[in-house]
Amino acid sequence: PGRSRMQVDLLAGTTHRPAVLARPVPTILVFDSGLGGLTVLARVGEVCRGADIVYAADDAGFPYGRLEEGALVARVLAVMERLVAHPHPELVVIACNTASTLVLPALRARFAIPFVGTVPAIKPAAAATRSGLISVLATPGTVARDYTRGLVSTYAGGCNVTLVGATGLAALAEAALKGERVEDDAIAAEIAPCFVERGGRRTDVVTLSCTHYPLLLEPMRRVAPWPVEWIDPAPAIARRVGQLLGADAAADRAGGHEAVAVFTSGAGITGPLRIALAGRGLAEVLIEPMPLVS
Cα–Cα distance measured from residue 108 to residue 119, given in angstroms and rounded to the nearest whole number: 16
Name residues whose C-beta falls within 8 Å of residue 59's C-beta, 6 or more positions apart in sequence. 33, 34, 263, 264, 265, 266, 267, 268
198 DSSP β-pair partners? 201
Which residue is catalytic, options 48, 96, 159, 194?
96
Name residues whose C-beta falls within 8 Å of residue 189's C-beta, 6 or more positions apart in sequence. none
Would you state the pLDDT for residue 199? 93
Would you state the pLDDT for residue 23? 56
Cα–Cα distance measured from residue 161 to residue 173, given in angstroms and rounded to the nearest whole number: 24
Amino acid at 118: T
Confirm if 210 and 172 have CB atoms less than 8 A apart: no
Would you state the pLDDT for residue 183? 97
Residue 48 annotated among the catalytic residues of the structure: no
Would you state the pLDDT for residue 120? 94
Cα–Cα distance measured from residue 200 to residue 177, given in angstroms and rounded to the nearest whole number: 38
The CA R_g of the chain, rounded to the nearest whole Å, is: 19
Identify the CA nearest to 136 among candidates 146, 127, 149: 149
Would you state the pLDDT for residue 60? 96
Which residue is catalytic, options 48, 159, 194, 210?
210
Confirm if 5 and 258 have CB atoms less than 8 A apart: yes
Q: Residue 7, Cβ neighbours under 10 Å: how many? A: 18
Confirm if 133 and 201 have CB atoms less than 8 A apart: yes
Would you state the pLDDT for residue 65? 84
Name residues whose C-beta falls within 8 Å of residue 20's C-beta, 6 or more positions apart in sequence. none
Q: pTM for the full model? A: 0.87
Confirm if 217 and 191 have CB atoms less than 8 A apart: no
Residue 96 annotated among the catalytic residues of the structure: yes
pLDDT tens, N- to C-terminus, the chain (294 residues): 445 545 545 655 544 444 444 556 889 999 999 999 999 999 999 999 989 999 999 999 999 988 999 999 999 999 999 999 987 899 999 999 989 989 999 999 999 999 999 999 999 999 999 999 999 999 998 999 999 999 999 999 999 999 999 999 999 999 999 989 999 999 999 999 999 999 999 999 999 999 999 999 999 999 999 999 999 999 999 999 999 998 767 666 655 568 999 999 999 999 999 999 999 999 999 999 999 876
Distance of CA 124 to the CA centre of its chain: 18
Identify the CA nearest to 211 among candidates 103, 113, 121, 104: 121
What is the sign, positive or negative, of the torsion defined by CA atoms of 154, 160, 165, 171? negative
The contacts found for 170-174 with CB under 8 angstroms, 24 or more apart, are: 170/34, 170/36, 170/63, 170/65, 170/139, 170/210, 170/212, 170/213, 171/63, 172/216, 173/35, 173/36, 173/212, 173/213, 173/215, 173/216, 174/34, 174/35, 174/62, 174/212, 174/268
Would you state the pLDDT for residue 292? 86
* CA-to-CA separations, 111 to 32, 90, 106, 253, in angstroms, rounded: 18, 11, 9, 29
